[in-house]
Structure 1
Amino acid sequence: MACSAKYTDKEDSLVCSICFEKFKTPRYLPCKHSFCQDCLYSYIVSQLDSTEPRLGILCPLCREFIPNVCGSTSPEEWIMQFPQNHVLEKHVNSTGQIHCEACLRDNIKEEAIDFCFSCNEKLCANCTKYHRRNLLTRDHKVVPLTETERGGLEPYFDQGEICGKHHGRPIEYFCDDHLEPCCTTCVCTTHRICRQVKTVEETALFLKEGQKENFDAIFDYVEILEEKLSHAKLKQEMLTRQLEDKADEISDDTEKMFDDAIKQLQHLKDQCLKNMATGVKKAKEKYEKVIQKLTDGIHCAKYCSKSIGESRMKADASKLVVMYHTGLKCFEGLKRCDFTRVKIDLEHEKPDILEDIMDLSIVSDVKFLEKSLIGRVYLRCISEISLEGKFVRDGTFQADGTFIFSTIGCKPCQNKPNCKDDCFIYHKSGMQSKRIQSRPEPFGVAVKSGTTFIASSAEKYIQKLSYFSTLLSNEINTRCNLKMFGIAFLQENIYMACNDRIIKMPKHGGPFHYQTTYRTGTQVKHIASTKSHVVYSKRNTNEVVAMDANGQTVWRYTSPCLKSPCGIGVDGEDNIYVAGKESDNIHVLTKDGKVIQVIEDITRPDFMKVDNEKKVCFVCTKRKYLKVYEMIY
């Protein structure tokens, strides 16, 4: 952007490229371009209006994708993740100041010729000489003042090298409990009770040596997702053109119909076309929002690909860790987004004859039918899994695409070595990957932010399995005296199905008084979550219930052909799959509890779990048989 003509070339570097005024509280983006805080806030608000939730924005200058690392949709919280450019702010406020600031502290006036970015001070020749000799300041970045006047006021540190919460402090540690980079202040405050806090050097070494395959897997997955988003965007743009073509067709028909009409019908013709044009505009706006959302996803996917790909090449541990986990967080946010395409059909009805035309109140009725592109699904079995001496209880897809499920040994076989209570991990092909020893009677299995959580119905612990590891290490003590079954996550809380109640607690655990109990009126074992609701089944009353984060019932689903609902699965588009144990079917619902399809002839199903891409599902029947299906639409 060009700067206002009222400023000289020397002052151009002190002018915001959005408002064309001198910077006020400048903040800088990861690309190192700075803008006024209020200007940046207004820009973020305008971007949030076009697509929600927003995964990131484009820099107003260089158009580089800037991810929403904080994960908040609040512009106030979003803008605070960008550090203030104190160097730039100093130059704006000290225009005309030409004296050495170090000498001024001794009331000596010497002309400044250099500027230290680390100290944020102007220096004279003598102070610069000693500044470079002093052991504490010899590594500071000192440049001639003429260079800063030519626009060299970019921040000295990359955002990846400094703490996002305590700006100016270097990243030195990494918290495994929260998967966050930390400075020394973070470690002493927010993360002072965390169990796993390591130096960035240790974490970088682990990522370099132990996670090469994971780097490659995520990199490949992001590339595939980018390709799918690009394809979806093309399809959505094609639907926009089809909508316009259909609208043109209806316009032509309407014009032709009015050619022979009498003058009294002129206002009806205008009304019809106006209604249609208004509807088309609204429909196109919806299409454009979907296209913008897909474009946003593509930018985010490219950023993830770039961040994860480049992080492997970084020699600096801090940059490697921050770039990798920034890409990973963006990737997690990308997976949680709803990229459902929308199709709006136009229907046009016109009278067969024009008798009694003067009595007509409307000539043509144009309808806009909006629907999500969810097709009818058919299942093709690609693998069968039989576990001798085992009962399957619950399962879910993990962050790497594998499927993990919990089992218990059947009573006649519990003394046999292969019939212990444990969990299994299988590939989508149906091949076994790992067997993991868990606490007794594992039941609920859920995934949150790349970590798998397994609840023990015999004990009050929830075990954690990171996809960085093959061992169940960290545990959450729920301090719950009731028997736990299924678990689910909504926002930052765990929801546990405990007989006739659902208990909510923070996802990292905590004292008993942090828990909230919601009564269900009857036994509940199976629970899952969409992006906005917790969904659970009530076998005794043959109903499925959705509640919000505060326990308020949002909707209920019942059907004469749904008997004894049990396991619940949710796909990447928040469609819900309910297993009818005694009705031998699977009910597919929208996130609002509307039935899409009933998949029949599934004998005594326990659950149907679908991957985020809706390509593969695992179906458990009779508690001991697992089948892997390809989903065909």
Structure 2
Amino acid sequence: MDTENKSSNFSSDIRCSPCLFEGKTNHAIKWCTECQEGLCKDCLDNHRALVSAKKHKVIPMQEYVLTLTHISPSEINTNCADHGRKLELFCPAHDEPVCTICIPEKHRHCENFIPIKEIAEHWKHTEAFQDIQNSLSDTKHNIENIISTCLENKTSLTLGKASKQQDMKALRRKVNEYLDGLEIKMLQNMEERYKDCIKEIDSSLTDIEHYKTDILKLNSEIDCMKNLTSKEKCFLGTRNIENKIIKLKRNLENRMDDMRKFEISVSFDPIFASLRTMTAALGTVQFDKLPMSMEMRDCKHRQAQIPILRPHSTQANTVLSQKQEIAVLPNVQNHLVTGCLILPNDLYLFVHRNGNSLVVQDKTGNVNSTVSISGSPYDVAILDDKHMVISYGSLAYIEVVALSNDQLTKRMPVNGHCSGICCFRGIIYVAVRQKGICTLSMGKNVNILIRCITFDVGYVAASNEKLVYTDSKHRSVHCHDLLGVELWNIMLNDMQCPRGVQIDIRGNILFCDSKSNNVTRVLSDGTGRHILLETSSGLKDPFGLHLDESRKHLLICNLSDGRAFSFNVK
């Protein structure tokens, strides 16, 4: 109510711009978003009569004032900062709005531009807008969780300090007066170390309180977006807020890397326990800095945990030694094998697109069984010890199938052409064309984790720290954390068509290139690219790539010549 009263008072102070030029001071009742000026009733009628102003948007003064009191105009600038032209299109490749001059200057190789008005028309009701609101809520929750954990650490540290002091006093009563000086010396040492720990915790709390203030401010701004009539401003404003949230979350995660949980412990010299002799010290006080591990909630991946652990070693000594060559369906012609698996029982499973089936073979190549499925499959992954999941390309759905009897358990639509699929900790990650990487789990809705509107056919793999996918159209490999934040990407001239991708035991990335006919390893930080296998190893249009659960055995399948290869990984 206070905000409305302030807006009303402020709006009554804004004068009509055309009248001011004539020396009049009439109050403005409307605001033209194109002319950026207030209009009184008479000037509003004249403005509407102008042919050049027919398409101008006029809003109530209170709505205009509301945007001023909550959001800086510079944050929702509808004009291009470089050229001054109106931002009319959105470039999916660069994830940014552009004007008509930007396209030939900076986006000449981009495609699939989308009119901003088309996006903004229903922006407030989209999943993306809801994601931003949820992200604000989740980040606020995470900040409060961190604060609570720090306060609990202070309490436990204080209680632990008191407990250890009692232990020292109990020991002190068993020795003579000579130990008084040593006790005082040790208590002073403990107090100094304790204060240092409390100081570090308070410093962390101060930083986190700043993040809380920032997130509350963004929360207020996002609430304001709901009341904006200007859909373009709403879209651009919320995009700006989303970028701020991403930056804030990154800063918060970086701050968490530096935070430690303190615990107090005391070790006494065995000599004092026996009371047989004296020593120069009563004991030692140890304050251990332990990594803080807490559940971080995120609207895009609620079951993920912020990876506090350090990155895997980026050693370059991945070595493949070939075990054997397997003939996939030797009695079948017109092979189209787009995926493969090493099953928990060490059998091999191949995705046979032309046959609408999955083929299970043993290590010698004998066909163990053929699983008939509902359509033409694209890729397959192990969900848990009882189920696997299958993607069906243009059929736009995935299916969960029981491993024991090959019976359908659940079918889930993904509303788009779905290609590569993988699973990690019960979460299903699937590449959906024109959307990006989507996540879903049993009984849950589809959520877009990584937006990539121009995303073409690709494969995906996940580990406890990262998510990687290949984009064959743009000849690139991308690495994100489990919250969808991009860590790195590579796009090289000699990389022609990356397909199947996996993450080895060191966190390094393995992917096959169906046109270059090779398998490449990239270090976990996106550097150190090295070709492990080439045509001489039998690769001809390699598509599918899979590491078993131990990540010590690799299976590769060619697309159309009916051959697959297994390797030991060291």
Q: TM-score, normalised by structure 1?
A: 0.42
Q: TM-score, normalised by structure 2?
A: 0.46
Higher relative contact order (CA 8 A, sep 6+): 2
